[in-house]
Amino acid sequence: MTTIDLVSYEDALASYDPVMGLEVHVELGTRTKMFCGCSTELGAEPNSQTCPTCLGLPGSLPVVNAIGVESAVKIGLALHCEIAEWCRFARKNYFYPDMPKNFQTSQYDEPIAFNGYLDVQLEDGEVFRVEIERAHMEEDTGKSTHVGGATGRIHGASHSLLDYNRAGIPLIEIVTKPIEGAGERAPEVAKAYVAELRELIKALGVSEARMEMGQMRCDVNLSLRPNGTEKFGTRSETKNVNSLRSVERAARFEIMRHAAVLSSGGTIVQETRHFHEEDGSTTAGRIKDNAEDYRYFPEPDLVPVAPAREWVEELRKGLPELPRVRRNRLREEWGVSEHDMQSILNAGAVDLIVATIEAGADAASARKWWMGELARRANEAGTDLAALEITPVQVARVCALVAEGSLNDKLARQVIEGVLAGEGDPDAVVAARGLAVVSDDSALGTAVDEAIAANAGIADKIRAGKVAAAGALVGAVMKATRGQADAARVRELILERLGVEG
C-alpha cells in the first residue's frame, strides 16, 4: 500500500467543499433469479443453481421476474420517484469471466424509476434531503475465487474458480444526484443515507439488505471543489463498500486524500478505488473516464416493461409507513430523546422493543432491558441483539415478573442469563434456579434478626432516630439472601423490630 501525506480533515474542509454521489446495489430477496427460474437460495453447491439462460448459452431466452419488477416499483415509489410508463432493459457489453453472457442485462437511459428523494435524519436530528437520480433493474454477476496466492486476489493466484449461482440474481441500483451542501457532514450524510435506505428496503420487505452478506453494497463517488466555487471537481469512485461505518470512513478518507493531492498542485484522476477495512484507507483501482463505452443497446430478447398506472397506484397505497416517520412516531410514544432513539436504532433494537411491547411490556421496561442488560450481553458476545437466544415474548415475561414483584432487577438479570444459556422460558428458569423474590415474613425474619445482631452499632443509631442508616442493614439482609429478599419488606421489618417509624 502506498502511503500519502493526508491533509487533516479540518484543513481539507477549510479550503474545499465536498460533492458526493452514492450508488447503492441491493440484491432483491426474490425466490428465483431475474431472468430465469433458477433458485436464489444461498449456500448451495457451486454452479448447482444455473441453467442455459443464466449461463448465457446460445439460444436461451430470458423472461422477466414479475416480483423483481414489483420490488423495483415499490422501491421507486418509496423514494418518491416517478415510475416510467414504459421502459426497457439494455445490454451493457463487457467481458468478465464471472459474466458468461458477455453482457450484463441492465437499464440505461430508460430506468424504471427516476427523480426522487430520500430524507435522512442526522445524529442531531437535522433532516437532510438526498435527491435520487434513478433506480434501475439489473442482474448480479457470478463469483470468482482466486486460488493459490497469498492474498486471495488474482495477482499471484495459480488458478481461479467460478461459481455462477449468483449470476442473474436481481439487483436494483439506486443512484443519487450529486449531493452538495453537506460540507463537513458529508461522511455523516453518506452513512445516514445508506442506513436510511437499508431501513426502507427492509420495511418494504424486498430484501433483507444485509450489508455484511453483500446484499447491499455502496460505491462512494467523491470530489472536492475550492470553497465558494460551483464547478465540480474530478471524482473518485470507491467501490463495494459494505458497512455503514466503512461508507463514512471511505468518504472521510477521500476528502483528506483529494485535499492533499489538490493542495500540492496535483490533479485527481477519475478512477475506481478499493477501500481497506484495516486502516480505513483507499487505493487505486482502474482508471475510468467518461468515454468508457459499453455499447449499450436495448435488449432485443425482452419485452419492454410498462407498469399499468392502476397497478402502480395500488402499490403506492400498500407502502408501509416510512422508517423515519415510524421512528419519530415511536419516539413520541415511548417518550425518548432524539439521541436515545438514535442509540436504539444503532443497536438494532427498534423492532425488538416494539415486539416486546406488543407482548405486554410497558415501553420503559422493554427499552430498559433491551438497551441495558441485553445490549451489554450482545456486546460481550460480539453479536447483534436480534441474534441473542431470547425472544421479545420472553423479555416481556421478565418485565411482567418484575412488575408483579416476583423478581427484582438483580434476579431478573439472572433469569435472562438462564434463558440465554438455554435453560428455557423465564418461568422455567425461575423454578429451576429458585429465583423468586422472598417477601414472606417468616422467611425474612431470621435474616433480619441476624443482620441486627451482627450490626449492633448501626442498630443503635437507628433506634436513636437515624432512620437513613437502615439502608446498611437492608444491604446486609440482601447479601445474606443472595439478592432474593423483597427489599421494601426487609426495610419495614427492620424498622418494626427496632421500634422506629419509617
Under the rule (CB under 5 A), what is the footprint of Mg ion? 23
Q: Which of 467, 484, 487 is nearest to 475 (CA)?
A: 487
* Residue 355 contacts ligand ADP per CB under 6 A: no
Q: What is the side-by-side order of every strand in the sheet holding 90-93?
A: 103-106, 90-93, 297-298
Please, what is the minimum distance in Å from the beta carbon of residue 99 to Mg ion? 16
CA 484 to chain centre: 39
131 or 417, CB closer to ligand ADP? 131
Q: Which of 376, 319, 321, 401 is nearest to 354 (CA)?
A: 321
Task: Pick one of ligand ADP, Mg ion, Zn ion, none as the site partner of residue 19 (Cβ within 5 to 8 A by kind).
Answer: ligand ADP
* Residue 51 contacts Zn ion per CB under 5 A: yes
Please, what is the minimum distance in Å from the beta carbon of residue 23 to Mg ion? 5
Task: Pick one of ligand ADP, Mg ion, Zn ion, none as the site partner of residue 176 (Cβ within 5 to 8 A by kind).
Answer: ligand ADP
22 or 79, CB closer to ligand ADP? 22
100 or 233, CB closer to Zn ion? 100
Q: How many residues touch Zn ion (CB under 5 A)? A: 5
* Stretch touching Zn ion by CB under 5 A, among 32-40, 221-229, 254-262, 380-388: 32-40
Neighbours of 26 (CB within 10 A): 26
Q: Which of 451, 202, 473, 195 is nearest to 347 (CA)?
A: 195
**HEC sequence for 414-436:** HHHHHHHCCCCCHHHHHHHHCCC
Q: How many residues touch ligand ADP (CB under 6 A)? A: 16
Query: In a 3-state reduction of DSSP, which class is residue 297?
Result: strand
What is the secondary structure of 74-113 as a DSSP string? HHHHHTT-EE-SSB--EEEE---TT-TTSEEEE-SSS-SE
Q: What is the side-by-side order of every strand in the sheet holding 216-226?
A: 82-83, 113-121, 127-139, 170-176, 16-27, 216-226, 236-241, 271-276, 281-287
* Stretch touching ligand ADP by CB under 6 A, among 20-28, 195-203, 259-267, 470-478: 20-28
- Contact assessment for residue 286 and residue 96, using Cβ atoms and an 8 Å cutoff: no
Q: Which of 140, 137, 121 is nearest to 129 (CA)?
A: 121
50 or 406, CB closer to Zn ion? 50
172 or 357, CB closer to ligand ADP? 172
- In degrees, rounded to 5, the angle at the alpha carbon of residue 357 between the alpha carbons of residues 356 and 363 is 115
* Residue 20 contacts ligand ADP per CB under 6 A: yes
* Residue 19 contacts ligand ADP per CB under 6 A: yes
User: Rule CB under 6 A: which of 213-232 touch ligand ADP?
Assistant: 221-223, 232
- Answer for which of 54, 204, 357, 419 binds Zn ion (CB under 5 A) is 54
Please, what is the minimum distance in Å from the beta carbon of residue 54 to Zn ion? 3
Task: Pick one of Zn ion, ligand ADP, Mg ion, none as the site partner of residue 175 (Cβ within 5 to 8 A by kind).
Answer: ligand ADP
Q: Which of 420, 423, 424, 426 is nearest to 400 (CA)?
A: 426
74 or 217, CB closer to Mg ion? 217
Task: Pick one of ligand ADP, Zn ion, Mg ion, none as the site partner of residue 353 (Cβ within 5 to 8 A by kind).
Answer: none
* Residue 294 contacts ligand ADP per CB under 6 A: no
164 or 193, CB closer to ligand ADP? 193
Query: In a 3-state reduction of DSSP, which class is residue 324?
Result: helix
Is the dihedral angle over the CA atoms 316, 320, 321, 327 positive or is it negative?
negative
Element (H or E) spanning 23, and its range? strand 16-27
Task: Pick one of Zn ion, ligand ADP, Mg ion, none as the site partner of residue 38 (Cβ within 5 to 8 A by kind).
Answer: Zn ion
Q: Which residues bind Zn ion (CB under 5 A)?
A: 36, 38, 51, 53-54
Q: Which residues bind ligand ADP (CB under 6 A)?
A: 19-23, 133, 175-178, 221-223, 232, 235, 237
